[in-house]
Structure 1
Amino acid sequence: MKKPKTNSFFLRGDKKYHQIQFDDLLFIEAYGHYCKVYLKNDMIISHQKISDFEQLLPKFNFIRTHKSFIVAKDKIKQIEGNRILIDKYKVPIGQTYKENIMMLL
């Protein structure tokens, strides 16, 4: 996986390569040896580690909120207690990552 110079990247999932626009990406969830990549209108299961995504995604657009989650900052609807609301999903905030979230406020 190469670092993108554009506003998209290619993701391997379902035996195909999908071009993913950063604008369409809601969040990424680690799922065993896979990652679930949640998009505005889709969800792709990829065989990549969440740490690979952390290296790939632009830091100013995405934030790690939990050992299993990276979210798009501009897709956060609200932060409530230890959860972030994105679209219809509730994403947990891990103790270790709480400081990252507080810096957004």
Structure 2
Amino acid sequence: MSKTDKTRPWWVRMADAPMATCVPVHDHRFGLCTLPGDITADSASLSRRTSGCHWRATDSYLFGGGCSGGGREWHLFRREERRRSRHRARRDLRAYHGED
């Protein structure tokens, strides 16, 4: 199997480039800092957690396509938005020409 980014787990890609793909989030409400030095699947998060120190993916990583699915989801959202815009324009043109 080739060793490309798409075959590697998301947390491994985050661990390879910390501070570019993930940032430390500190939450000391329940005691001292519990942020681990190493980024693992348990210490990393793709979303916002509510308690405890952890590593969180940056927005550019999530929406820029670095995360598997993140870029595709944004692409699908934009695609749906463009489709709605085209349908709206067609409806407006038909109404303008009196075809409705």
Shorter-chain TM-score above 0.5: no
Greater helix content: 2
Relative CO higher for 1 or 2, CA cutoff 8 Å, sep ≥ 6?
Answer: 2
Please say which structure displays the higher CA radius of gyration: 2
Q: What is the TM-score of this pair, normalised by structure 2?
A: 0.28
Q: What is the TM-score of this pair, normalised by structure 1?
A: 0.27
